[in-house]
Amino acid sequence: MSLPADIAANPKLSTWFALEADGRVVFRTGKVELGQGAVTAIAALAAAELTIQPEALTVVAGDTRSGPDEGLTASSLSIEQGGAAARHAAGVLRERLAEAAARRLGVPVAALHLADGRFSVSGQNLSLGFSDLAGDLDMEADMRRLPVPEPVSDWAQAVPLRRRDLPARLSGPAFVHDLVRHDMRHGRVLRPPHPGAVLEAADRAALAALPGVDTVVIDGGFVGIVAADEYTADRAASAGERHLRWRLARRLPPCEPDQAWLEDVAPHLVETLLDEADAGVSLSAPDLAATFARPFIAHAAIAPSCAVAEWQDNRLTVWAHSQGPFLLAGALARALDLPEEAVAVVHSPGAGAYGHNGADDVALDAALLARAAGAPVMVRWSRRDEMVWAPRGPAMRIRLAAKLDHETGRIAAWSSEVFSPPHLGRPQRGLAAPGVDLLAAWSRARPVPPAPPRSLPGPGTGDRNAIPGYAVGARRIRHHLLPQGTLRTSALRALGAHANVFAIEGFMDELAALAGADPLEFRLRHLDDDRGRGILEIAAGAAGWDGRPAGGDGHGMGIGYARYKNTGAWCAVVAEVVVETEVRLIRLVAAVDCGAVVHRDGALNQIEGGVLQAASWTLLESLSWDADGVIGTGWDSYPVLGFAKVPAVDVHLAHRPASAPLGAGECATGPTTAAIANAAAAALGVRLRRLPLTPSGLRAAIDEI
Amino acid sequence: MTPRPPIPLALQVNGRWISVTVAQGTPLLAALRAAGLTGTRFGCGEGHCGVCTVLVNGRPVASCTLATEQVGSAEITTIEGLGSADVAGPVQSAFLDHQAAQCGYCINGIIVALTGLLARRPRPDRAEILAWLDERHICRCGAHLRILRAVDALLAGDASPAAGMAGPGQ
């Protein structure tokens, strides 16, 4: 075993653990609880290495004042990275404690027996608990210089886990929205109704005269008010709109399902991921070419973004539901011209986050208003703020072309051209990072622009899963990274993998039809990866693929498959649908191989949620606006999957106790969308290449033949 | 705009009377939260998402669009009236037993609404429950399947009110 990256970056044992005088063992993780059960699982891994019950640990998650910097809780890496670090740190603590116990008891370490957090020696009555040994330990020890501990527990937890955080969430205060600080006040930022609008004029006196308003901030185009309570602040924010004048500076792109406008935008960067010999030549006259598209997809969190900020002697503490407390702290320091150590960020839960939403932005809003008010301030966005101002998942357009070897029935060459605005607009770590990726910073009197668009190696953003996981002959894969447009975009669950898998899997069905092959058999024909083949076969077997309806009469089944990021969990989904005027989901069968499963119910919960959220994206979701660029902001104009439309869902997990764990939260999104679209296409006998599959989308696809 | 002076009101919440002083038109949600009952949450502010559901005389109501002064002497039940983190009520227990949540932000409204439904119709059929939930509640995380499993367990009578809230908070 080697040193986990998060341990190398946070090498002091005291960053991870504290043995309190009252006997409590405090465990700190840099990963945060986003409603996935990740912190429950990570704490259980640490507890198992200490031979104690998970409930015996006091857990601190995502606190820049005391815990490790583990970057983001994102990208399905929480267990893989955060869990590995927790196991390592706990193992080091256990071995240090064992050495101390051996010294005290005058026996070699090998003679010690450890169970339930107590060291004993057979034949002796004496035993020592962790708190008895606390004083003997050098908690400042550098784990890079200590032996790598040998794990005493398995990744897969023997005991089913229950979420540590749920009892509080399901009964009373638990979210940042519920936080109360002494003398706390409530702020609102008055943002324009259109993302391309800029402030022309603000009537400060009129804003200050609004009932209950005690502080007004006008800093360039940033306008905020503060009042004593939430309702007064809400009323003032809404009444204050008429004291501001906005000008439309930037227009929105065309709101059309083919997303053809993306090809007209001058790219920031064109990355060639692969350009293998002969791909260009053999693709000059492809046997099949098709273009797929998905729209902008909103986080549409059930709760508005919220944060609390408190200043004391030019030091700032912010409670935020950020996915990256340390990254946010760095961006706040840059935005506010503060040294990094003057900013603390404490993670406090928000509503489900599926990527980079408004959680970071609202933290700067709160910091600016709290500084002006001279008191702690909570800022809570409105639903309109969420839909108009929070980053969203980008629209994407993907052109695919392939050459088929008609003799072998195999794909001989494959080309992908992916057009996408940025999937990464997050705050970046440290004072040296360029720009400030926090909304309020861009419109202040002394504006700080966001960082330029960026990609990730891997391939990690719009090109995530752009390379097919199949053996497709010579490949040419290009990623056209577009600049930020009027509609700001950033990370949404699975990033580019969602649209890329939708496109590749739709295209595989089209190629299978061209080759006269069964879609499942055609996939297996091109798949060398045993675990991938295994998971496809599990899903197909469980769904009864062989006995599926013939299609063409409104009833169909479809399949979707991918290995997330080509390095993560394997997932296959089979969908069964009935299509009349709309697509009705009958059943979704998912099979996932995410290696050793630490927290079985947590993994199932993530996969179920990923499947249903992707079903919602596929059937319903598209950020839309009218001719004047007014974005619909209510739940009625951005509907999501409701209870009445939820199908039967079966999730099958591969049993891989000896493999390394892989995250499960994102792997199902692409395969689910692909399976539903392929099922609906089979039911209709018409290819479906544009999302969402609304009644009007289906009509458009039928009209095109 | 003429500032309207706050008015003192007495509300009957979870079986006891509490005093609140609120501006006229203040939504019941804001009054409850200001009184420390923060288990009822703000979602959309438009009565669409069901997050802020409370029972008023046993009927589920979106507390974000109900003016506090209109409540009068009606009996209000919030999530705090149904159980706590230490002692869960039967619906809470079923949700915990089935880990029927992801972020959990929407769940309290759902628990309150289901409690109201079950009090009036102890054995509703599944279609009725689906319609009831579909009309009033949105879950963005995709915890629907678990929520429905918890409901099925409640209907089957195998919820375990005494089990419940094991494990410390974070």
A164 touches chain B (CB under 8 A): yes
What pLDDT does residue A632 have?
A: 86
* Residue pLDDT, tens place only, A524-561: 999 999 999 999 999 999 999 999 999 999 999 999 99
Cβ-nearest to B142 among A60, A350, A608: A608
Q: Are A610 and A671 in contact (CB under 8 A)?
A: no
Kindly tell me if the per-residue pLDDT of A40 is higher than 90.
Answer: yes
Hey, are the CB atoms on B170 and A33 less than 8 Å from each other?
A: yes
Q: Answer for the pair A380, A407: CB distance below 8 angstroms, yes or no.
A: no
Is residue A77 left, alpha or beta, with left meaning phi > 0 and alpha meaning psi from -120 to 50?
alpha
| Token pair 């390095």: residue | A567
Query: Among all residues of chain B, which has the CA nearest to that of A171?
Result: B84
ipTM: 0.96
Q: Torsion angle, CA of A156/A161/A165/A169, rounded to 10 degrees?
A: 130
Task: Annotate A90-118 with b (16+ C-beta within 10 A) or e (fewer).
Answer: bbbbbbbbbebbbeebeeeeeebebeebe
Residue of chain B minimizing CA distance to A54: B167
Nearest CA in chain A to B86: A167
Q: Containing domain of residue A611, as a range? A: 517-705
Decide if A650 is inside a domain: yes
Domain identity same for A539 and A688 = yes
Asked whether residue A221 is assigned to any structural domain, the reply reads yes
Q: Is residue A406 part of a domain?
A: no
> Out of 2.70.180.20, 1.10.490.20, 2.60.40.1180, 1.10.150.120, which CATH number does the structure's domain B90-156 have?
1.10.150.120
From B91, which residue of chain A is nearest by alpha-carbon distance? A170
Q: Which residues of B are less than 8 Å from A39 in CB distance?
A: 170
Q: Tokens representing A545?
A: 């693929």
Of A3, A348, A73, A379, the C-alpha closest to A222 is A379
Question: Nearest by CB to B105, which of A60, A167, A302?
Answer: A302
- Specify which residues A17 forms β-bridges with: A27
Sorting pLDDT into bands at 50, 70 and 90, what band is A278? confident
| Domain annotation covers residue A358 | yes
Model confidence over A108-140: pLDDT tens digits? 999 999 999 999 999 888 899 999 999 999 999
Q: Does B98 touch chain A (CB under 8 A)?
A: no
Query: Between helices A669-684 and A600-619, what is the axis angle to 10°?
Result: 40
A291/A260 Cα distance (integer angstroms): 10
At B111-134, the pLDDT tens digits run: 999 999 999 988 899 899 999 999
Phi and psi at A265, nearest 5°, equal -85, 130
Q: Provide the H-helix boundaries in A309-382.
A: 325-336, 359-373
Residue A485 lies in a domain: no
Q: Say yes or no: A146 and A241 in one domain.
A: no
CA distance B150 to A604: 15
Query: Is the separation of the CB atoms in A366 and A224 below 8 Å?
Result: no
Contact B141 A601 (CB under 8 A): no
Contact A657, A468 (CB under 8 A): no
Q: Are A170 and B96 in contact (CB < 8 Å)?
A: yes
Conformation bin of residue B16: beta by default, left when phi > 0, alpha when psi is -120 to 50: beta
Residues facing A625 on adjacent strands: A631
Domains identified in chain A, total number: 3
Rounded CA separation A677/A669 (Å)? 12
Q: Is B84 near chain A, with CB under 8 Å?
A: yes
Asked if A608 and B143 come within 8 Å (Cβ–Cβ), the reply is yes
Chain B interface mutation, best of A305, A643, A650, A672, highest count of B Cβ atoms under 10 Å = A643
Contact A231 B23 (CB under 8 A): yes
Q: How confident is the model at residue A454 (pLDDT cuts 50, 70, 90)?
A: confident
Distance from CA of B98 to the nearest CA of A (A): 9
Please state whether the peptide bond connecting residue A692 to the residue before it is cis, i.e. omega within 30 degrees of 0: yes
Do residues A157 and A183 both lie within one domain?
Answer: no
What pLDDT, on a 0 to 100 scale, did the predictor assign at position B81?
98
Inspect the interface and report whether the beta carbons of B169 and A231 lie closer than 8 Å. Answer: no
Q: Where in chain B is the domain with CATH 1.10.150.120?
A: 90-156
A612–B111 CB contact, under 8 Å: no
Q: Which of A389, A415, A440 finishes a domain?
A: A389
Mean pLDDT of chain A: 96
A159: confidence class by pLDDT, cuts 50, 70, 90: confident
Has residue A155 got a pLDDT over 60?
A: yes
Q: Return the percentage of chain A with pLDDT > 90, whole number.
A: 92
Cα B77 from chain centroid (whole Å): 8
The pLDDT, as a whole number, for residue B165 is 32
C-alpha–C-alpha distance, residues A236 and A422, integer Å: 35
Two tokens, residue A206: 């009129």
| Cβ proximity of A33 and A78 under 8 Å | no
Q: Alpha-carbon Rg of chain A, whole angstroms? A: 27
Q: Angle A61-A65-A68 (CA atoms, 0-180°, nearest 5)?
A: 55
Q: Mark which residues 20-79 of B lie under 8 Å from A by CB.
A: 22-23, 26-27, 30, 33-34, 38-39, 41-46, 48-49, 51, 79
Among the candidates A389, A410, A440, a domain finishes at A389
The pLDDT of residue A275 is: 95
A575 touches chain B (CB under 8 A): no
Q: Does residue A207 belong to any structural domain of this protein?
A: yes
What is the C-alpha separation between B144 and B155, in angstroms, rounded?
16
- Chain B contact for A231, CB < 8 A? yes
Mutate to test the interface with B, among A33, A181, A302 (most CBs of B within 10 A): A302
Question: Higher confidence at residue A161 or residue B31?
Answer: B31
Measured between beta carbons, the chain A residues lying within 8 angstroms of B27 are: 231
- The answer to whether A316 touches A309, Cβ cutoff 8 Å, is yes
**A334, A363, A389 - which closes a domain:** A389
On chain B, the residues whose CB falls within 8 A of the CB of A603 are none
Q: Which among A55, A609, A636 has the least Cβ separation from residue B142?
A: A609
Q: Residue A353's pLDDT is what?
A: 81
Taking alpha carbons only, the member of A363, A348, A82 closest to residue B169 is A348
**Residue A552, min C-alpha distance to chain B (Å):** 30
Interface with chain B: mutation pick from A32, A53, A170, highest number of B CBs within 10 Å: A170
Question: Domain check: are A235 and A115 in the same one?
Answer: no
**Mean pLDDT lowest among A2-6, A280-284, A321-325, A577-581:** A280-284
| Partner-chain contact A36 B102, CB within 8 Å | yes
Contact between A491 and A77 (Cβ < 8 Å): no
Q: Does A380 touch chain B (CB under 8 A)?
A: yes
Displacement of CA A66 from its chain's centroid (Å): 24
Q: Give the contacts of A584 (CB within 8 A, at least 6 positions apart).
A: A577, A578, A645
Distance of residue A389 Cα from the nearest chain B Cα, in angstroms: 15
Contact status of A620 with chain B (Cβ, < 8 Å)? no
Asked, for residue A630, whether it belongs to a domain, the answer is yes
Say which residue the tokens 């499993």 belong to.
B149
Q: What is the pLDDT of residue B2?
A: 54
Q: Report how far residue B33's alpha carbon sits from residue A304's, in angstroms, rounded to the nearest whole number.
A: 16
Q: Is B149 on the interface with A (CB under 8 A)?
A: no
CB pairs under 8 A between A and B: 200
| Nearest CA-CA distance, residue A383 and chain B, Å | 6
What residues does CATH 3.10.20.30 cover in chain B?
7-81
d(CA A503, CA A303): 32
* pLDDT digit string, tens, across residues A321-380: 999 999 999 999 999 999 999 999 999 999 988 999 999 999 999 999 999 999 999 999
Quick check: A689 and A293 in contact, CB under 8 A?
yes
Whether chain B has a CB inside 8 Å of the CB on A39: the answer is: yes
Shortest distance, CA A356 to any CA of chain B (angstroms): 15
Any CB–CB contact under 8 A between B170 and chain A?
yes
What is the nearest CA distance from A640 to chain B, expressed in angstroms?
7
Q: How confident is the model at residue A460 (pLDDT cuts 50, 70, 90)?
A: confident
User: Which residues in B lie closer than 8 A to residue A239 (C-beta atoms)?
Assistant: 1
Per-residue pLDDT at A458:
77
Confidence band (pLDDT; 50, 70, 90) for A219? very high
Residue A341 CB contacts under 8 Å (≥ 6 apart), including other chains? none
Q: What is the pLDDT of residue B168?
A: 32
Inter-chain touch A167–B167, beta carbons under 8 Å = yes
Indicate yes or no: CB of A644 within 8 angstroms of CB of B130.
Answer: yes
Q: pLDDT per residue over A5-22, tens digit each?
A: 999 999 999 999 999 988
**Of B59, B17, B67, B62, residue with least CA distance to B41:** B62
CA distance B31 to chain A (A): 9
Q: How far apart are CA A508 and CA A671, in angstroms?
A: 12
Q: What are phi and psi of A539, to 5 degrees?
A: -65, -45
**CATH number for the domain harbouring residue A354:** 3.30.365.10
């609202």: which residue's tokens?
A362
Do A151 and A181 share a domain, yes or no? no
Q: B7-81 sits in which CATH class?
A: alpha beta
B48/A173 CB distance under 8 A:
no
Mean pLDDT for A387-401 is: 97
For chain B, list residues with pLDDT below 70.
Answer: 1-4, 158-170
Q: What angle do CA A245, A250, A253 make, to 5 degrees?
A: 135
Whether A341 is in a domain gets the answer yes
Helices (H), A392-496: none
Nearest to A170 among B4, B43, B95 (CB): B95
User: Could you read off the pLDDT of A622-660 as tens digits, one per residue?
Assistant: 999 988 888 988 899 999 999 999 999 999 999 899 999
C-alpha span between A163 and A151 (Å, rounded)? 24
pLDDT at B3: 57
Q: Please indicate, yes or no, whether residues A525 and A581 belong to a single structural domain of this protein.
A: yes
Flag whether pLDDT at A705 surpasses 60: yes
Check CB contact under 8 Å for A230 and B39: no
By the 10 Å C-beta count (0-12 exposed, 13-18 middle, 19+ buried), A704 is classed as exposed
